[in-house]
Amino acid sequence: MTDADKLGENRQRNDSPKPGDDPSVILHIHVDKDNRFLYKNKERFLPVVNNIVPVVKRFLQCIRSGEYLHRNQKQLAIMKKMKLFFTATLVLLTIGAAQVNAQEKTVTFGVKAGANLATIGGDSEGARHTFKYQAGITVDVFLVDHLYILTGLDFQTKGAKFKPASGADAKYSPMYLQLPATLGYKFGLGSDIRLVVNAGPYLSYGIGGKANSDGESLKLFGDNIFKRLDYGIIGGGGVELGRFSVSGGYDLGLRNISHAKGAKARNRNAYLTVGVKF
């Protein structure tokens, strides 16, 4: 027997099923004489394939129906608004830093806390004010003379009570992270006493909260009752006594935050806070 015959006999032995193998689950695919691709126990792989196929089909259906594109367009629109807002804030901060007076402290940090008197405006029947609270970090950026950018990051609780003429009462309690970017002017009234007035935009993002009515509770943002993104205008004033401050104002929401088609709901909030600067 030649060496070639021996090699062929060895290959034939290697390819033949071994004792104990189930021929129904063994698949041999011969690519050519020298290269063989062997799949064994195909039952291991079939469940994986069966799980992947429905996911791929669902993805293709979303693309055909435009659902995937529609979701992405909504997300892109929100991201563009947030990007524009933060870019404008950054530009104002940059301008302020470029006009710094060496005798003034450029940036002053602080903390504040206080009470909110909130409601929800729109076409909802029986909306009432409700007491809420807020706390946050303040950042005062000196521009020139008595002009400042007053910003920071607040944790805000807003909402309203509803007492309609008919039907069950309800209470909405959304929670937000809020970024104000107001322009402030500080009048000197004496030694370490200043009167402050300010106005500008704000941007809020809903992070939680519930709607309670007739013993039932729903997530305001998770159950698509309110839109997460909110924006509006702030106007207010206050007094600074050395490192301490007392301020009040009003948040006027401009965005319709209701998810319901045809319904209107906008945040309204008056506030009073006390703070300390470092």
What pLDDT shows up at residue 261?
86
List the beta bridge partners of residue 112: 136, 275
Predicted model pTM: 0.64
What's the chain's Rg over C-alpha atoms? 33
Mean pLDDT by 10 residues, the chain (278 residues): 50 48 39 41 54 63 55 62 66 57 72 97 86 97 93 96 85 96 93 94 96 90 91 96 96 94 93 96
- Report the C-alpha gap between 161 and 163 in whole angstroms: 7
Tell me the one-letter amino acid at 106. T
Closest CA to 203 of 235, 234, 158, 224: 234
What pLDDT shows up at residue 167?
77
Q: What residue segments make up the domains of the chain, in order of their start? A: 67-277
Residues in the chain, how many?
Answer: 278
* 3-state SS string for the chain: CCHHHHHHHHHHHHHCCCCCCCHHHEEEEECCCCCEEEEECHHHCHHHHHHHHHHHHHHHHHHHHCHHHHHHHHHHHHHHHHHHHHHHHHHHHHHHHHCCCCCCCCEEEEEEEEEEEEEEEECCCCEECEEEEEEEEEEEEEEECCEEEEEEEEEEECCEEECCCCCCCEEEEEEEEEEEEEEEEEEEEECCEEEEEEEEEEEEEEEEEEEEECCEEEECCCCCCECCEEEEEEEEEEEEECCEEEEEEEEEECCCCECCCCCCEEEEEEEEEEEEEC
Q: Which of the four CATH numbers 2.40.160.20, 1.10.3210.10, 1.10.1840.10, 3.30.160.270 does domain 67-277 have?
A: 2.40.160.20
Is-contact 180 156, C-beta < 8 A?
Answer: no
